[in-house]
Structure 1
């Protein structure tokens, strides 16, 4: 019998988990790596999950409806695209405040879904990177004040963001591995996916280790290649140092569900991206590359022999082609440690 879906919202989730056998063999890995390919979501990233959850939970509470509400968000990328797609599918207007560093591809995708792109005042954007996460509230208030009948999705502090991954992404990983996952690897942007997935997995098995990929401080302070900007690589930020969580840690993020923070250079990120494309035919984005690089480092350790490592791979590389993410730079990649 045929199957006709009623909306693209029904296609969100149940993304594939793929083991990278050829990559494992080429690098002589001791552990196994199975990537969660989130670009199989209809709008191309794991943010589709949070966008749908945030909007539908607000609808259930009676806070928004397509006939009366304009959704607003301040974002640099995939969350905006996810909200834009879900908003279009449900009939909402969507106004998005653009951060610095948004690739041309992502801007055009937002436009394609009918979003209204605006640039918040420079002093408000500057405040975000000087004062940390709390300064986002000033941007949100400006957007609400300038948009009649608006409601902000507040990606950094909305509990339905990690809730989407706790209720869906985590269970998918658990079920697809038959509960055999040993190590989960992710990065921190809004904090939703890492918090939600790790919380669920640890409730199932407390011995599962969660490792967070963080941009190398030297790369962030002295960027030498495109893709390193605004305190991190596309989609991930350094939220933890020797003093604990820093001001860029989003409200969604829960440090208690994390076992280890490991730094990754942009050279290692690019190397991981190019290796996966070459050996597995999978072209991933920068945040995915960072998580994969950490997974490779974990899989090279003797202590992880035979263990199953699952990195969350948020999106693919097609929306970063304007930055030459696909181009192999030997002067950069020779600095990679694997």
Structure 2
């Protein structure tokens, strides 16, 4: 169970960066793999799990599979950082389709090719398919969200909550809010997006806040749970990260920083008075060394 820290009387954060793999994505990865093993779709020592990701789901998947003696093959788009690609490979993931990607293939096309030719390749693949696998939501509704609710109850937190979160697949946002409501909490949920993006209409722009608004409409985001949408820029995100490290000693990732920036705005709005703000600390800031350098550069420029 990841820690819940009370930052102050108004704000609590569940530190999902404590998980194996370093993020909340381990929850879904572990749940999907365990269910597939139970169903006989993954046979340890024989089956290779295959997925298109170079982000936190890849690290969560690797952590979930290795302890179960299951190999992992990843198709990682060239847009992902070389740092993450090298680290995943160094930790034991097989990076597939390198030449195909260089020749212009998409990660999805690489996956489709390997699934279609798995017998020729002498492999037996299981595609976790995080953007279409409903176990992704259940992992957070039955796991993350229930844990959070139990921790809030143990801390005697007010029942009226303001959940601030973001969406890649939308699974954690939907699962956690549903779980808290199942447990009797009065939850108002705020979705955080980068400036220029509009998830509801499917409008996306290039941005640096990796992990949210990933270029596709979140398949698992239940819009009936979203009360409000707030947008944030990179400068606000980096500032929130620095302040959180100063105050709490944790270097959180950019999605958490973005949510922290919005949470600070919401404190000052009368409409949200009386609600306790709750967030997930999705991952650690060490995954984003380029943003750390950008923050350092900005600090020097200001000086």
- Uncovered stretches (5+) of structure 2, i.e. residues with no partner: 198-203
Q: Which moved more, 1:53-62 or 1:317-326?
A: 317-326
Q: 2:271 aligns with which of 299, 303, 315?
A: 303
Question: Structure 2 vs 1, CA of residues 166 and 328 (structure 1 numbering), >3 Å: closer, same or farther?
Answer: farther
User: Which residue is 1:103 aligned to?
Assistant: 81
CA separation of 1:143 and 1:196: change in aligned 2, threshold 3 A: farther
**Matches of 2:139 and 2:176 in 1, distance apart?**
9
Pairing 1:205-244 to 2, within 5 Å after superposition:
205=184, 207-217=186-196, 230=206, 233-237=209-213
Could you list the per-position Cα deviations for residues 140-177 of structure 1 after superposition, in whole angstroms to 9, with x for gaps in the alignment?
31232354211110001111111110001111111111
> What is the 5 A alignment of 1:265-304?
265-304=233-272
SS in 2 for 1:233: coil
Which residue of 27, 51, 54 maps to 2:29?
Answer: 51
SS in 2 for 1:275: helix
1:117 equivalent to 2:131? Answer no
- Selected match of 2:48 from 70, 81, 85: 70
1:266-317 per-position Cα deviation (integer Å, ceiling 9, x unaligned): 1111111111011221111111111111221212223333421011121011
Structure 1 unpaired stretches of 5+: 1-13, 22-30, 129-135, 219-227, 239-246, 334-338
1:183 matched to 2:159? The reply is no
Q: Which has the higher contact order (CA 8 A, sep 6+)?
A: 1
* Corresponding residue for residue 112 of structure 2: 141
| Contact 1:198–1:258 (Cα < 8 Å) also in 2 | no
Deviation at 1:259, TM superposition (A): 1.6
Secondary structure of 2:52's match? strand
Alignment of 1:13-24 (within 5 A): 14-21=1-8
Task: Report deviation, 1:330.
Answer: 4.8
- Pair 298,49 (structure 1): closer, same or farther in 2 beyond 3 Å: same
1:24 counterpart residue number: none
Secondary structure of the equivalent of 2:288?
helix
- What corresponds to 1:316 in structure 2? 284
Question: In the alignment, is residue 329 of structure 1 matched against residue 280 of structure 2?
Answer: no
TM-score, reference length from structure 1: 0.77
Rounded to whole Å, the distance in 2 between the matches of 1:310 and 1:62 is 38
C-alpha separation in 2, matches of 1:185 and 1:279: 19
TM-score between both structures, scaled by the size of structure 2: 0.85
Offset of residue 193 of structure 1: 0.6
Aligned residues: 285
Please tell me the root mean square deviation across aligned C-alpha atoms, in Å.
2.6
